[in-house]
Chain A
Amino acid sequence: MTELSSAPVPPVAADDHVRGPADAALVIEYADFECPYCAALSARLAARQLRRVFRHFPVRSGHPRAWPAACAAEAAGVQGRFWEMHDLLFGDQGRLEDPHLWQRAGELGLDLARFDSDRRSEEVIARVRRDFESGIRAGVVTTPTLSCGGVLHPGKVEESTLIELERGFTAG
């Protein structure tokens, strides 16, 4: 039985998806690819000097394509192209059906047969589920939610908060 009782946001793991300067402040995003607020926040975070960790938080009934999109990003990650797929998914949220996912995989030059097999694999599904469950245990209730220094910032994030985060929690 999966443990889902309360627990802090897990620290960055070796297989987490991380980008940004190593000495910048660390933010962990819980997001889903069908969430327009997540796409908007992602663009704002990209404009800041932050070290970002992306974790999946797909909720099927609200966003029915969030799970397939999350699995597509992970499958791209198996071939070393997670962040490229991340950007393509957030770049056009009106096109998240399977043919659109295959098209993106093609754009990235992925092995399509492997991509399609991986995105349905137990390992990829478990990886997405692991992120989701870590969010549940930490009390994440909506997307996007940022976690910085153990504090959750659910929903809309003010620009002043991003500036504070950029300045306040330097990891280096």
Chain B
Amino acid sequence: MIEPGTAAPEFRLARAEGEPFTRDDLAGQTSVLVFYPFAFSPVCTDQLNLYDELREELASRGATLYGVSCDATWSQTAFREQLGVSIEQLSDFEPKGETCRAFGVYHPGGFPQRALVIVDPNGMVKWSYQAESPGDLPGANLIFDGLAA
């Protein structure tokens, strides 16, 4: 996966209404990209619920969380609404997995690895982490370690 100290790649994701979200949208802020395998799956549900509980603590550190998956925008929106979380969702649906590949987190099974990437305000990767298995849920403490690194 993408290593700390390298520039975030060019990429194009889709926001909820289909508008593009690109590397330029990361400029000037610290972004935490949460790559997750599947909307509505059990571990992804726990993960977004847990991280959403910490959004104020993350915001106080100037960090914004984004959920990234290969699900369609409609599915992501339904997922976010069902959970009642506010983490913005970004879709890597078409071309499928292209952004995941650019970050080196595309699982051979056709979905994102469970991975976390922190991009600093200058567009450089500050920290990255990939779970040993897509079924492993990285603790939120790792994000705070990454932000402090």
Instruction: Please report A residues at the B interface, Cβ cutoff 8 Å.
Output: 1-2, 4-7, 59-62, 64, 132, 136-142
Contacts and interface: CB of A to CB of B under 8 A. Distances in A.
A61 B53 CA distance: 7
Given A5-B141, A6-B142, A136-B139, A59 B61 contact: no
Specify which of A132, A137, A141 lies most central, judged by the most chain B CB atoms within 10 Å of its CB: A141
A141 B48 CA distance: 11
Contacts of B141: 4-7, 136-139
B98 to A, nearest CB: 29
B142 A62 contact: no
A140 B50 CA distance: 10
The prevalent SS among residues of B at the interface is: helix
A142 B45 CA distance: 11
Given A61-B84, A61-B85, A4 B140 contact: yes
A59 B53 CA distance: 6
Given A5-B145, A136-B54, A62 B60 contact: no
Interface of B: 45-50, 52-54, 57, 60-61, 83-85, 137-142, 144-145, 148
Contacts of B60: 1
B54 A5 contact: no
Contacts of B48: 61
A61 B49 contact: yes
A143 to B, nearest CB: 9
B49 A59 contact: yes
Contacts of A64: 84
Given A4-B141, A5-B145, A140-B139, A62 B57 contact: no
A6 B139 CA distance: 9
A141 B47 CA distance: 8
A83 to B, nearest CB: 26
Contact of B137 (A61, A138, A142): A142
A61 B81 CA distance: 10
B144 to A, nearest CB: 4
A35 to B, nearest CB: 11
Nearest to B53: A59
Contact of A61 (B57, B83, B139, B144): B83
Nearest to A3: B144
A62 B53 CA distance: 10
A129 B83 CA distance: 21
Specify which of A4, A6, A137 lies most central, judged by the most chain B CB atoms within 10 Å of its CB: A4
